[in-house]
Structure 1
Amino acid sequence: MNLQQLEYALTLERLGSFTQAAKALGMTQPALSLQIKNLENEIGISLFDRSRSKIEPTESGLKFLLRAGEIVSASKQLKDYAIALSTEFKGILRLGVIPTLSPFLVPMFIDDFTNSFPEITIEIHEQLTEQILQQVRLGELDGGIISTPITRQGIEVKPLFYESFFLYKNDQLFDSLESFSISNIEIENLWLLEEGNCFRDQVNDICSFRNIKSNTRMKYLCSSIDSLIRMVDHYGGATILPELTTLSLVSEQEKHLAILDDKIREIGFVSRKLSGKEHLFEALTNTICQNIPPRMRQKDGREVVDPGITVNW
C-alpha cells in the first residue's frame, strides 16, 4: 500500500466512475481497476460497491477512505509548510460559502483581505452546506464558511460570529413592533427558502408552524434571500432574514424589520485537520472578524439554532 494507491481510491470516491477517475488520473481504466483491486486485496476489505451505475464506497470502505484522506492530506501539508516558511502568506485559498451568506459577507471583507495579502489567491465557491463539507473532506476546497455548530470526523470548526433573526414583514399589523417571539404570532404568507437549505431548517426550528397560515394560491420555491425580500415587497406577508442580510436594506425597507429575540445562528469556518494552510486560515478569519459589526462577535448567552446539517459519513 502506498500514497499513490490511496490517491487513486480517493479520486474514484470523488468521481464515482472508473472511466472518469482514470481520465482524471491520466491512466487507463484497466490499470486503475487493477490498482484498486490490489489495494483491496492488501487491506482485506472491499472499498467500493460496484453493483450500481455510480461507484460508491462500502460502509467499511468509507471509514477507510476517511482515514486515507487524512494521511494523503498530511503528506501534502509538507509542501504547504515549506511555502509558509519562505513567505508567511502566499498560495491559493479555495473557499466555499453558503448562499445565504456569500452575497452579504464576502463584500464586507474581500477588499481588505486581498489588499492585505496580495500574494494569496482566493477562490470563492457559493455552494450548499453539504456540498462544502464533502468537498472540504475530499480536499477540493480548503475551507468553508457555513452555519455551525457541526461535528464531523476530520473537520475542524472555528466559530466566527453570530446572527440574530429578523422578521421582514409587509403587513400593517406588525409595523409598530420592533421585536417579538415568532412562536406567539400568526402570519399569512410566510415566504421561505426551498427545502434542503440549512437556513430553511433553522427557520423551521424557530417558527411554530401551527400558527402559520397561507392564503396565497402560489407556491414559490427559491434559494435566494434577495428573492424572498422581493416577494414580501410585492405580495405582502413576511419572511425570516439573517442579520447580515438586513445591513444591505434601504431605509424604507428597514421600517419593515422586527428582531426575533428568541435565538441566533452561529457562523463558523470549517477546514480539514492537518491541511497545512492554517496560516492562511488565520489570516482569513481574522480579516472577517475585523469587518463584522462588534455586536455580532458575541453570543451573549443566547441560544444557537441547530443548522440541521445531515451528511452521511
Structure 2
Amino acid sequence: MTTVQLHYIVELDNHRHFARAAEACHVTQPTLSMQVHKLEDELGVLIFDRSKQPVTPTDIGKRIIEQARVVLHEMGRIDQITQEAMGNFEGEFYLGIIPTVAPALLHRIIPKLRTALPSVRFVVEELQTEVIIEKLRKDQLDAGILATPLDERGIIEHPMYYEPFMAFIPESHRLGKEKFITNSELDINDMLLLNEGHCFRNSVLNLCNKTEEREEKPLRLESGNFDTLIGLARQGYGMTLIPYLTAVDLSDELQGFVKPIAEPRPTREISVVYSRTQLKIGVIEKMIASVIASVPKKMTEEKHHVIAPV
C-alpha cells in the first residue's frame, strides 16, 4: 500500500469517474486504474463498484477512503507545521464564498489579503452554501465564507461580522414614505426574492415566518442577484431586502430608497467555515483578521437578531 494509491482512491471518490480522476492526478487512466486494482487485490476487497455509473464506493470502500483522507491529511500536516513555524505562508488557498456576500466583500478584503499574505495565491469561487460544505468535506476547498449558523458535522464556524438587513423600497410603494419599517410590516407576498438555493432567500422567508407557499400572482419575479431585484423594485414590482454592505455600495440616488428595519433589527451572521482537519489554519487566521478590518467596526460587535439561513 502506498500514499500514491491512497491519493488515487480519494480522487476517484471525488470525481466518481476514472478519466477525470486520472486527469486530476496528472496520470493516464490505465495507470490510475491499475493502481486502484493493485490496492484492492492487496486488501482483498473491492473499494469501488464499477458496475454503477458514476462509479461509487462500496460500503467497505467508503470506510477505506475516509481513512485514506485522514492518512493523507496527517502527512500533509507535517510540512504545514514546519512552514508555519518558519512564518512561511505560500502556495494556493481555495476559498468558496456565497454569491450574496462576494460582490460586497471581495473588493474590500483582497487588498488586505495581498498585503498580509503576499506569497499565497487565492483561488476564489462563488458557490452556494451546499456546494461549499460538500467541497470542504472532500478537501476541494480550504475554507468558505457564508451565512451561519449551520451546525454541520465536522465543520468549524468562526463568526466574523453581523450584517443587518436593509429594505429597498421605491417611493410608489405603500411603505415608500416611511423613514424606517418594522418586522410586522414585511409582507412576503410583496417581496422580491432571490432564486431558490440562496441562503439569503431562506433568511427572508424565516424573517417573514413563511414557507415557500405564497399567493398566486399573474407575475412572480425572482432573480439570482440583488441588482436585478433592485431594478424590479424601482419599476414598481414590489420591495426587496438587501444586506447592509450591498446597500452601502449603492449609488447616492439608490441609497435614497434604502430604509432601516426597526429593532429587533434582523441580521445575518457571516462566518468563515472550514473542516476540522484543515491544515492551513495560519492562513485562515490572517484572512479572518483581514475581513474584520474591512467591515465597519459596529458590524463585528453588534449581533442584534440573527436570522437563520436554513
Q: Return the TM-score normalized by structure 1.
A: 0.84
Residues 1:186 and 2:177 are matched in the alignment: no
SS of the residue aligned with 1:264?
A: strand
CA contact (8 A) 1:81 1:277 kept: no
Q: CA deviation at 1:193?
A: 1.1
Residue identity (%): 28
The residue that corresponds to 1:111 in the other structure is 111
Letter of the 1:124 counterpart:
V
Tell me how far 1:249 sits from its aligned partner.
Answer: 1.7
Cross-structure match for 2:300: 297
Structure 2 counterpart of 1:305, one-letter code: I
2:134 corresponding residue in structure 1: 134
Counterpart in 1 of 2:173?
172
Aligned mates of 2:72, 2:282 — CA distance in 1: 19
Checking the alignment, whether the CA contact within 8 Å between 2:188 and 2:205 is kept in structure 1 is no
Report deviation, 1:129.
1.5
CA distance in 2, matches of 1:120, 1:235: 46
Note closer, same or farther for the CA distance 1:199–1:61 as it changes in structure 2 (3 Å cut): farther
1:84-163 alignment, distance < 5 Å = 84-163=84-163
Residue 140 of structure 2 aligns to a residue whose secondary structure is: coil
| Residues 145 and 172 of structure 1: CA distance in aligned 2, closer, same or farther (over 3 Å) | same
Unaligned runs of 5+ in 1: 309-313
CA distance in 2, matches of 1:306, 1:68: 35
- Matched with 1:230 is 231
1:68 maps to 68
Root-mean-square deviation over aligned CA pairs:
2.8
- Going from structure 1 to structure 2, the CA distance change for 1:26 and 1:112 (only over 3 Å counts) comes to closer
Matching of residue 276 in structure 1 with residue 279 in structure 2? yes
1:222-243: CA deviation from partner (whole Å, max 9, x where unpaired)? 2212221122122331112122
Deviations 1:278-309 (CA, angstroms, capped at 9, x unpaired) = 11111111011011111211354x3432222x
Query: Which whole-Å CA distance do the structure 1 matches of 2:66 and 2:135 have between them?
Result: 12
**Residue deviations 1:173-229 (CA, integer Å, cap 9, x gap):** 212141301x544365421111112222222211244896564x3344422122211
Amino acid at match of 1:82: T
Q: Please state how far the C-alpha of 1:76 moved relative to its aligned partner.
A: 1.4
- Listed one character per residue, the Cα deviations across residues 152-179 of structure 1 (whole Å, up to 9, x for unaligned) are 3443221111112222222432121413
* Distance in 1, Cα, partners of 2:23 & 2:73: 22
The Cα shift of 1:270 comes to 1.3
Partner Cα distance (1:200, 1:99) in 2: 12
Counterparts of 1:258-269 in structure 2 under 5 Å?
258-260=259-261, 261=264, 263-269=266-272
Counterpart CA distance in 2 for 1:92 and 1:30 is 29
Query: 1:11 deviation in Å?
Result: 0.4
Deviations 1:3-36 (A, max 9, x none): 3222111101111112222343344545534543
Alignment check: 8 A CA contact 1:69 1:137 kept: no
**Counterpart amino acid of 1:295?**
K
C-alpha distance in structure 2 between counterparts of 1:254 and 1:78, whole Å: 51
Change (3 A) 1:252 1:153: same
Q: How many residues align structurally?
A: 305
Q: Distance in 2 between matches of 1:226 and 1:48?
A: 46
SS of equivalent residue, structure 1 residue 179: coil
Supply the AA of the counterpart residue of 1:8.
Y
For residues 73-107 of structure 1, the C-alpha deviation after alignment (integer angstroms, 9 at most, x for no partner) is 22112223333233443333221111000010111
**Preserved CA contact (<8 Å) 2:200 2:309:** yes
- Bigger mean CA offset, 64-73 vs 110-119: 64-73
**Partner Cα distance (1:218, 1:103) in 2:** 28
Q: Describe the superposition over 1:16-57 as per-residue Cα deviations: whole angstroms up to 9, x where unpaired.
A: 112222343344545534543454566676544434321234
CA distance in 1, matches of 2:90, 2:270: 26
- In structure 2, the CA distance between the partners of 1:208 and 1:177, relative to structure 1 (3 Å rule), is farther
In the alignment, is the contact (CA less than 8 A) between 1:190 and 1:212 conserved in 2? Answer: no
Contact 2:187 2:208 (8 Å CA) reproduced: no
More deviation in 286-295 or 147-156?
147-156
Taking a change above 3 Å as real, the CA distance of residues 34 and 158 of structure 1, as seen in their structure-2 partners, is: same
Q: What does 1:204-243 align with in structure 2 at a 5 Å threshold?
A: 204-209=205-210, 213=215, 215=217, 217-243=218-244
